[in-house]
């Protein structure tokens, strides 16, 4: 038994877990998240070992994954459209409030947005220094 047999067994086991999730009829949100995670792992195993990318030059990886990054960015453009259905209600409720409450809501949003923004800035700063 070599590494490729091990990868094959790994892929079969993850598939078994996925089918088990369908068998117990997990909730759609949990199922979608778990399936995408497991499928992502399977994809990495196939690309790294079966397709040998693990053993190729680093530059090849960059060339291959940059288009996927562009795709993800392009798909993010769809998000506002998908989220609009939920946002309309929030927006109407917020607009119906008086000026003082609207001000408080804005401060609240700014306060809650600050920590993730700081984390993102820290990551970008570290990435630049590397």
Partner 1 sequence: MTREIASSSPFGIGSKKFGMWLFVISDALTFATLLVCYTYLRMGSTGWPKPFAFSPSILFSTGMTLVLLSSSLTMVKAVHARQQGQRGQTVRWLGATMLLGAAFVGLHLTEWMHLIRAEGVTPWANPWNQPLFGATFFGITGLHMLHVTAGVIYLGVIAAGVPRGKWSAEDVEAAGLYWHFVDLVWMFVFPLIYLMSVKS
Residues that bind partner 1 in the complex, under the rule CB under 8 A: 4-5, 8, 11-12, 15, 18-19, 21-23, 25, 28, 31-32, 35-36, 38-39, 42-43, 46-47, 50-52, 56-57, 59-60, 63-64, 67-68, 71, 75, 78, 82
Shortest Cβ 94–partner 1 spacing (Å): 25
For residue 31, with 0-12 CB atoms within 10 Å meaning exposed, 13-18 middle and 19 or more buried, which class applies? middle
C-alpha Rg value of the chain to the nearest Å: 22
| Tokens 């609009």 -> residue | 84
Nearest to partner 1 of 18, 105 (CB atom): 18
Shortest Cβ 89–partner 1 spacing (Å): 17
- What distance in Å separates the CA atoms of residue 87 and residue 34, rounded to the nearest whole number? 26
Shortest Cβ 35–partner 1 spacing (Å): 4
Nearest to partner 1 of 42, 105 (CB atom): 42
Nearest to 40 by CA among 22, 14, 75: 14
For residue 26, with 0-12 CB atoms within 10 Å meaning exposed, 13-18 middle and 19 or more buried, which class applies? middle
- What distance in Å separates the CA atoms of residue 36 and residue 27, rounded to the nearest whole number? 14
Tokens describing residue 109:
């949003």
Nearest to partner 1 of 25, 98 (CB atom): 25
Shortest Cβ 78–partner 1 spacing (Å): 7
Nearest to partner 1 of 57, 130 (CB atom): 57
């Amino acid at each position: 038994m070599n590494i490729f047999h091990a990868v094959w067994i790994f892929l079969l086991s993850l598939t078994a877990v996925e089918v088990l999730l369908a068998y117990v009829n997990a909730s759609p949100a949990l199922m979608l998240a778990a399936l995408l995670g497991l499928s992502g792992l399977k994809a990495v195993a196939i690309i790294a070992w079966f397709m040998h990318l693990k053993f190729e030059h680093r530059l090849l990886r960059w060339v291959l994954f940059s288009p996927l990054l562009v795709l993800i960015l392009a798909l993010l453009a769809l998000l506002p459209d998908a989220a609009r259905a939920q946002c309309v209600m929030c927006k109407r409720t917020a607009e119906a409030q008086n000026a003082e409450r609207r001000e408080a809501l804005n401060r609240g949003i700014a306060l809650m947005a600050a920590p993730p923004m700081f984390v993102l800035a820290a990551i970008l700063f570290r990435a630049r220094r590397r």
